[in-house]
């Protein structure tokens, strides 16, 4: 089954989506963002998109735009819907929205253990430019973050 056959809808997140987005994040992450984190991002005007399939919210992305740069802060897709293209479409929307608002580069951090995300970013032409030691909380202490960027020009 492909995303195209499922008639995905993408739209900016609204406050009514907060509970579902926070619940989805909690299903995906051992150390999730809180509902308050998403609300704060919404209030400060971050670029936040949701993916709906058959009316069900199954994915989200959060990006911060600052002058001529963008930073992907969070992205997630329900495990039951991974591999259908929702994450790729959300990432495309982040990149396009950032371009439209004058960003020439997009940055992100990703756990080295998140091989699926690393593969997605590399597929889209992101390159590793650094490493943040002990950046993420982990069940056995801390995990490093790979720093990636992509030229949007």
- Residue whose token pair is 């051992």: 30
**pLDDT for position 139:** 87
**pLDDT for position 1:** 46
Distance CA 48, CA 64 (A): 9
Q: What is the pLDDT along the chain (153 residues), one digit of tens a residue?
A: 454 445 889 999 999 999 999 999 999 998 999 999 999 999 999 999 999 998 999 999 999 999 999 999 999 999 999 988 899 999 999 999 999 999 999 999 999 999 999 999 999 999 999 999 999 998 889 999 999 999 998
Task: Count how many Cα atoms sit within 13 Å of the Cα of residue 29 in the half-sphere of its side chain.
Answer: 19
**Strand-strand pairing, 9-12 and 56-66:** unpaired
The pTM score is 0.92
**pLDDT for position 6:** 57
- Residue whose token pair is 């950046």: 135
**pLDDT for position 153:** 87
Choose the catalytic residue: 121, 135, 136, 143. 121
**pLDDT for position 7:** 81
Choose the catalytic residue: 25, 56, 69, 109. 109
Topology at the third CATH level for domain 4-151? Aminopeptidase (3.40.630)
Distance CA 68, CA 135 (A): 25
Is 136 annotated as catalytic?
no
């Amino acid at each position: 089954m492909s995303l195209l056959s499922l008639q995905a809808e993408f739209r900016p997140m609204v406050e009514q989506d907060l509970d579902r987005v926070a619940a989805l994040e909690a299903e995906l992450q051992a150390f999730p963002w809180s509902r308050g984190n998403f609300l704060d991002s919404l209030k400060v005007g971050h670029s936040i998109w949701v993916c709906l399939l058959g009316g069900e919210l199954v994915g989200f992305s959060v990006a911060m735009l600052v002058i001529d740069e963008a930073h992907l802060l969070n992205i997630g897709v329900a495990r039951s819907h991974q591999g259908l293209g929702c994450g790729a479409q959300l990432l495309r929307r982040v990149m396009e929205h950032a371009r439209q608002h004058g960003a020439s580069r997009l940055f992100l951090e990703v756990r080295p253990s998140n091989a699926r995300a690393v593969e997605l970013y590399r597929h889209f032409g992101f390159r590793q430019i650094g490493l943040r030691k002990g950046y993420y909380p982990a069940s056995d202490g801390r995990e490093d973050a790979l720093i990636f960027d992509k030229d949007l020009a």
